[in-house]
A and B are shown apart, each in its own frame.
Chain A
């Protein structure tokens, strides 16, 4: 497969998952501001922006949820926003048009086409629901109509890395939100994990077990550990080691992040949750760079410099 195509597939996976997860994260944020009449909106919004690495307005200005949504949900220019991620996914799908199935292309393209009609600022929840639905359609087509070859693996690799990264951000958001933040059950609900969690722990919910569920449940596909393991599995099959490569740097990073969550007392992780989650995010980001360096190496653009000798 052409490196260029593979890279597009990798990023389709990441962008669609990013749109999905950002929608879930923002839904929690907005919902918890609505539900808690005593929420400190300005601080909570700044906290969220910092988690998503978006520059916050100067402290003299109050930040409200409308601003957060403008930056993270409706901005079409920024690939960190939902709308931007959907656009970027479509652009990447266009580049990889000849290897992805028509169904998948149509799902991604239709999402892009329908986007303007769903950018209803007064009903963010409806918008988030729609984004989640579209992401589910794309994921469903990837799972049901893509041969389990490298096409599928790059899509899933991108999706898994993004999922681990975004779940880590979700947990950071909760850890930093303080007493007024979303409850763990709201958080679990946003990941579609609430019912699975309640059934696992039979309704005896505690903050620790809820955080643990999202961190490292072995069976729930949105937990960080599960997502990292899935990414590792893709890498394991993908790589005949390159000519020079003696070790798989991306796998090492992901594996290290996973094991440091998995083989450590839960209390240890929870006590330093923001720091731990930063490690996960950095590992994902570095692994993404390693994947690029290894499989999509044509980065050095040949430029012609008309220089006088």
Chain B
């Protein structure tokens, strides 16, 4: 029978569903079987249902003045529970190391003194802010939320592509993808044991509450958004809504008497923790950009006084600088005394002796990235670039070797994705989210899988036309449930269930209906006889 996997091409990349021989990998067996049994019409019908659900929920982006649903692919990405149990600790380890690194950068700078990282590396980073020096987070956490971008290379091994410890976004898509998929594929959710993600808002709120200044027992947490015109506004409102906290804009806040307040109808109310989704530069016009309308003047002063916690902390950008990324394995060894659980992608530091020459020479087979860019901005893929572009790039690399890194082209792993021709391999990456509450680092099972929709495309960022997939981590240990009877669903004792009433007229209606209809449409015979004159 023809199915949607017909002519599924094998590529150079690691395909997560089919191995090199064309056999289905065990984790995907059930999903693949279900998809194969579906006709194309039905699968596309479900895809439409997903898109409609997103339009209704308002998970959209603006495309030429028209609201389009954020592309969510119908085919889920599945990760085996055993594999995930090796990935999650790796992510947590990285967050712990970056946390220690940040504390060091804005503190004693032991790592510099011990020669692990060069001093110039830190001070030359665009996101190193002297204004953040000496601000001690109350529970020692600077990275409440981290998004560590992972890819799977040609051998199927996970590698870290970049770290995001400033304001990683995308978790709202994880939550709404899951909701939409559960409604669209109830049969898959019934058959598979998929680890839930709905815990995220609670964990995040707990981490934010834990970060409150000392001595505040019922802290007021707010989410600070740039406003409704921000592309991630949906995420900001979703997080505020699901945590039950206020979503504030800069103009709702003011600083007075060394504290941060928000304007409410009940007068001013103190704010203790700000989960900010505004970039460092816009946060406080006193400390950073003076023309910023998105922040609130004086925030940094209050943070320094310790009356308010800004999460994630200001100045975190130094840790996700792409040149610092190349030092993270050493940082893990230095701060944690552990071996990195997930490897980096091989990277050239252009300032290393000989590296620039080699990179310039092989530019047409490498990927070059600016160190402070995010969202795929400024990235150049050598094999896809024209000669003129490469020439211009060579020029820029020579002028600013600190500003760039180079990596070999990693063939990201592929997952079947519904496109015009059916299900076809498309490249994906994965952004797991980690929440640090100071006690431990919790990694959300799965994370955001982004998929590059054009064939062969390796850049998956949503700002570059990427879509997303729901990420299912399978299996795991069932939650510990005691065998006590109270833990199992019970029935109402016999005699205790209360019947559901109905209008007695409704049951009587049927016999009345018969009589009434008989009296209006007389059948011949009897009635005829009755009216006949005697």
Contact = CB atoms under 8 A, between A and B. Distances in A.
Interface in A22-46: 30-31, 33-38, 40, 43-44, 46
B533 interface: no
A47 interface: yes
B244 A18 contact: no
B265 interface: no
Contacts, number: 138
Given A35-B182, A179-B487, A201-B244, A91 B497 contact: no
A4 B242 CA distance: 47
A155 to B, nearest CB: 14
A50 B497 contact: yes
A269 interface: no
Q: Which of B202, B242, B245, B490 has the most CB of A within 10 A?
A: B490
B489 A44 contact: yes
Interface in A261-309: 274-275, 278, 281-282, 285, 288, 299, 301
Q: Which of B486, B489, B497 has the most CB of A within 10 A?
A: B489
B501 A178 contact: no
A34 B499 contact: no
Contacts of B244: 195, 197-199, 201-203, 205
Interface in A191-222: 195, 197-199, 201-205
Contacts of A15: 503
B193 A37 contact: yes
Interface string A233-250: 000000000000000000
Contacts of A285: 498-499, 501
Interface stretch (B68-76, B308-316, B504-512): B504-512
Would you call the interface of chain B mostly helix, strand, loop, or mixed? loop
A95 to B, nearest CB: 8
B489 A53 contact: no
A203 B501 contact: no
Contacts of B190: 33-34
Contacts of A137: none
A43 B182 contact: no
Would you call the interface of chain A mostly helix, strand, loop, or mixed? helix
Nearest to A203: B244
Interface size class of A (residues with CB under 8 A): 35 or more
Contact of B502 (A52, A80, A204, A282): A80
A125 interface: yes
Given A46-B489, A47-B489, A178-B487, A80 B245 contact: no
B500 A79 contact: yes
A91 B241 contact: no
A168 to B, nearest CB: 9
A191 B505 CA distance: 30
A179 B487 CA distance: 5
A180 B489 contact: yes
Given A33-B190, A53-B498, A203-B243, A172 B492 contact: yes
B503 A50 contact: no
A14 B220 CA distance: 42
B497 A51 contact: yes
Contacts of A18: 500
Given A44-B489, A176-B492, A34 B481 contact: no
Interface string A168-192: 0000100011111100000000000
A8 interface: yes
B488 interface: yes
Contact of A92 (B221, B501, B506): B506
Given A37-B194, A88-B506, A288 B501 contact: yes
A202 B49 CA distance: 33
A11 interface: yes
Nearest to A202: B244
A125 B482 CA distance: 32
Given A38-B193, A125-B183, A53 B488 contact: no
Nearest to B478: A38
B498 A282 contact: yes
A165 to B, nearest CB: 8
Q: Which of B221, B242, B486, B497 has the most CB of A within 10 A?
A: B497
16 contacts: A7-B503, A14-B501, A14-B503, A30-B186, A35-B182, A35-B189, A38-B478, A43-B489, A47-B492, A79-B502, A91-B509, A95-B505, A176-B491, A176-B492, A178-B490, A181-B489
Given A7-B505, A11-B505, 7 more contacts: A37-B193, A38-B481, A53-B498, A125-B186, A178-B488, A203-B221, A285-B498
